[in-house]
Amino acid sequence: MKKLLITGGAGFIGSHVVRLFVSQYTDYQIFNLDFLTYAGNLENLKDMAGKPNYTFVKGDIYDETFIHQLFTKHHFDGVIHLAAESHVDRSIHDPLAFAKTNILGTLNLLNAAKKQWKNTSDHLFYHISTDEVYGSLGQEGFFLETTSYDPKSPYSASKASSDHFVRAYANTYGLPVVISNCSNNYGPNQFPEKLIPLCINNIKNSKPLPIYGKGENIRDWLYVVDHARAIDMIYHKGKHGETYNIGGWNEWTNIDLVKLLCNVMDKKLDRPAGTSEKLIEYVTDRPGHDMRYAIDAHKIKNELGWEPSLQFEEGLSKTVDWYLANEAWLNNVTTGQYQRYYEAHYQTTDV
């Protein structure tokens, strides 16, 4: 039975990746390593608990000794590495936390894999990254796999650094690696500090919707399950040593996106049209705010046959429905209830 380590599996994207792999690959033993920070909680995977091919391990990728012990015990065949500090605004306030988890945590995993994997052809280290490493676009153009790195926030600088280390380990030590750089994800289980779930939560509670600057910044949005499908394809069919860009061909200015969300939620909450838009407040811009991200996703389509499956309006509607149906989840993540529960009930797995 192949042993696959997925890091960050209790977080937003990781929880969808774990669910897909545990359900589709019953011949794999899936280990989900997660430190259960504010962004991760096991409620995201409650339907996975008890599955025979699924094991949760609580641990910190920054803890070198722990990571080496874990690899020595389990001899993983592959790694899909998602664990990270992921929010740009937090990175502006605490860059060091991002360097520790995103750069040094990744290095610990790379070192452990390098030490264990003598016969490299049977293994794969798949590093999940972001389009933000490419920097900021003007009105024209797209990020290609060949676009030079130009990270501009502490978050994107930490992700760019980890991407470089992954490629350096392939080049220097022959580690089998693959990297994908994806655009902004949305969907169930996303912590309500990012734009879409923050606005859903605030519209629900009739609280202000903070729009940075003039709301003209542009992001390309992809439904999280489509990202998980792409990760599955790249893990199984991607060419080792390659990079794949993943995107939704779905650009929106922040203000247009938030207005669309307001309309969708007015209908679902049975409020008169225009009610939620009145909550929009323009606030001080994010320092160094990247203007536009846009992915050219031709390579993954042409080489692996992947395309986004959901139209944005459909994905947004599903997302709103999920948050409205999961009020307890929203309340618990925003008040730290899950964290307190796990601190009281969980033992760190003995490696």
Q: Which residues are catalytic?
A: 131-132, 155
Among 88, 179, 200, 224, binds ligand TYD (CB under 6 A): 88
What is 142-175 written as a DSSP string?
Answer: -B-TTSPP---SHHHHHHHHHHHHHHHHHHHH--
Which tokens hold the place of 233?
């394809």
At its nearest, how many Å lie between ligand NAD and the CB of residue 115? Answer: 19
User: 11 contacts which partner out of ligand NAD, ligand TYD, none, CB within 5 to 8 A by kind?
Assistant: ligand NAD
Query: Could you say which of ligand NAD, ligand TYD, none residue 67 binds, taking C-beta under 5 to 8 angstroms by partner kind?
Result: none
Q: How far apart are CA 105 and CA 166, in angstroms?
A: 12
Give kind and range of the element (H or E) at residue 203. Answer: helix 195-204
Q: Does 62 bind ligand NAD (CB under 6 A)?
A: yes
Residue 129 CB partners (closer than 8 Å, separation 6+)? 159, 162, 163, 179, 180, 181, 182
For residue 295, what is the DSSP state? B
**Residue 101 interacts with ligand NAD (CB under 6 A)?**
yes
Which residue's CB is nearer to ligand TYD, number 46 or number 214? 214
Residue 113 partner contact from ligand TYD, ligand NAD, none using kind-dependent CB cut-offs of 5 to 8 Å: none
Per the listing, tokens 């996303």 go with: 190
Q: Which of 14, 154, 247, 248 binds ligand NAD (CB under 6 A)?
A: 14
In the window 274-303, what residues touch ligand TYD (CB under 6 A)?
286
Contact residue for ligand TYD among 81, 123, 127, 194 (CB under 6 A): 194
Reading the block at residue 150, the tokens are 């130009």
Judged by beta carbon, residue 212 or residue 342, the one nearer ligand TYD is 212
Which residues have CB under 8 Å from 126's CB, separation 6+?
A: 78, 79, 80, 81, 177, 178, 179, 180, 231, 234, 235, 238
Residues 126-145 that bind ligand NAD (CB under 6 A): 128, 130
210 binds, among ligand TYD, ligand NAD, none (CB under 5 to 8 A by kind): ligand TYD
Contacts of 131 (CB under 8 A, 6+ apart): 143, 181, 182, 183, 220, 245, 247, 293, 295
Name the pairing type of β-strands 184-186 and 251-253. Answer: unpaired
Question: Using the rule CB under 6 A, is 76 a contact of ligand NAD?
Answer: no
Can residue 21 be called a binding residue for ligand NAD (CB under 6 A)?
A: no
Query: Footprint of ligand NAD on this chain (CB under 6 A)?
Result: 7-8, 10-14, 34-37, 39-40, 60-62, 82-86, 101, 105, 128, 130, 159, 182, 184-185, 191
